[in-house]
């Protein structure tokens, strides 16, 4: 079994590697915390930018997948 890390929109619904998932979830949690603190300080525009960038990062982290290289080759041949 030869696992390789792949990235792309087609891997969005595949299982995300644990370290990447942990990073994405931490990024999302930190962006929510920073946005909340920024709103309380009265900087609404900065809070919105931080919140959006955190969730975009979380979305991108879901596009990583550990894929068995042999199974990935078979799936691309079957779809052709």
Residue 4: which H helix or E strand, with range? strand 3-7
* 38 part of a folded domain: yes
Q: In 3-state terms, what secondary structure has residue 72?
A: helix
Q: What is the pTM of this model?
A: 0.71
b/e per residue 7-34 (b: at least 16 CB within 10 A):
eeeebeebebeeebeebbeebbeebeeb
* 53 part of a folded domain: yes
* 48 part of a folded domain: yes
* 80 part of a folded domain: no
Residue 71: which H helix or E strand, with range? helix 69-79
Range of the domain at 34: 22-72
Per-residue pLDDT reduced to its tens digit, 31-66: 999 999 999 999 999 999 999 999 999 999 999 998
* 60 part of a folded domain: yes
**How many domains in the chain?**
1
């Amino acid at each position: 079994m030869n696992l390789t890390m792949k990235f792309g929109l087609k891997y969005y619904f595949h299982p995300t590697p644990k370290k990447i998932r942990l990073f994405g979830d931490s990024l999302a949690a930190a962006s929510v915390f920073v946005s909340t603190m920024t709103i309380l300080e009265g900087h609404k525009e900065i809070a919105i930018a931080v919140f959006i960038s955190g969730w975009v990062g979380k979305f991108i982290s879901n596009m990583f997948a550990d894929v068995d290289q042999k199974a990935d080759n078979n799936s691309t041949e079957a779809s052709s």
